[in-house]
Amino acid sequence: MKSFFASTVFALLASTAMADTITLYTSQPNADAQRTVDAFMAANPDTKVDWVRDGTTKLMARLRAEIEAGNPQPDVLLIADTVTLEGMAQEGLLTAYQSPEASNYDPALHSAEGFYHSTKLITTGIVYNTGVDTAPTSWKDLTQSSIKGQIAMPSPLYSGAALIHLATLTGDETLGWEYYENLAANDARAQGGNGGTFKAVASGEKPYGMVVDFLAIRNKADGSPVDFVFPEEGVSYVTEPVAIMSSAKNVEGAEKFVDFLLSSEGQELVLDMGYIPARDGMGVPEGFPAREDIKLMAFDPADALANAEANKAKFAELFGAE
């Protein structure tokens, strides 16, 4: 009897411990992920977070293998882009959750059904070396013949943010695919990711480029000879959205995590990390223009998902498959 009682208590304690733990898969940089988890657990001391960090592509490959084996591990995802999560939502792999914090966000920044919610804004604009004679103000400035062969940009065949950028600009009625055709005619180099593009501009090898905002703005603050422009047409953006798996073992804990990230406290953390918070009414990091002066271009994750392979194929025709 004593043995039965002890085993029952142990099982109850194990069950309680399991209920108070969530598993997070995230593509945040390690330092950011640790700060996010630490801040959440400080605000929710009864909930522990086990987390796995890797790039979005590798995380999704791992998760797909787990799903195939019938044992997906994460309760919650915090990854780079809404397009990946839109695909998962369409497959029935995500749980809809209408966070009470969502009313503080532009509806364009979360799934209408609540399948995913954006946590920050990482925009792509124009970076240029301060040694150039003329600073660009528009996306179209990169197609001017006077700077032929002087432009670098990340490839959407390599970078998820670049693929979203491509979908955004080609979907704009004032730019469209004609814009990319003009970039190709102007001998723009399209290869690798944002880091390589930034280095090419900072070194003067290719004095103009397209790059994510914080990379240029932070390096400028550290003395790099670059400046960053939010073009007059607007900027594309990725949003590091959060989502709850339909297979989540601890839905209540996952909902707490989503609410924390979307709360004022969670968004202050985003700001402190040096990113633009997605929540309305927040400040911006040092070196950024006021939030109301940053124009976000229209973007539909479902359209971007549907057109992803066709967009990659067309891009490869114009710029090669590097």
CATH of domain 122-237+298-319: 3.40.190.10
Tell me the domain boundaries of the chain: 2-119+239-287, 122-237+298-319
Q: How far apart are the first and last CA of the chain?
A: 69
Closest CA to 125 of 236, 26, 4, 255: 236
Does residue 192 contact residue 161 with C-beta atoms inside 8 Å? Answer: no
Q: Which amino acid is at 297?
A: M
Which pTM value belongs to this model?
Answer: 0.87
Gap between the Cα atoms of 77 and 211, Å rounded? 25
Q: Which amino acid is at 216?
A: A
Per-residue pLDDT of the chain in tens (322 residues, 90 and over written 9): 445 444 444 444 444 444 599 999 999 999 999 999 999 999 999 999 999 999 888 999 999 999 999 999 999 999 999 999 999 999 999 999 999 999 999 999 999 999 999 999 999 999 999 999 999 999 999 999 999 999 999 999 988 899 999 999 999 999 999 999 999 999 999 999 999 999 999 999 999 999 999 999 999 999 999 999 999 999 999 999 999 999 999 999 999 999 999 999 999 999 999 999 999 999 999 999 998 899 999 999 999 999 999 999 999 999 987 6
- In the β-sheet with 94-95, what is the strand arrangement from edge to edge? 48-53, 21-26, 76-78, 242-245, 94-95
DSSP secondary structure, 108-149, as one string: GGB-TTSS-B--EEEEEEEEEETTSSS---SGGGGG-GGGTT
Options 3.40.190.10, 3.30.70.260, 3.40.50.920, 3.40.50.2300; CATH of 2-119+239-287: 3.40.190.10
122 beta partners: 238
Gap between the Cα atoms of 86 and 197, Å rounded? 28
Token pair, residue 193, equals 């990711």
205 beta partners: none
Indicate the helix (H) or strand (E) that contains 82: helix 82-90
Indicate the helix (H) or strand (E) that contains 216: helix 213-221
Say whether 122-237+298-319 and 2-119+239-287 share the same fold. Answer: yes
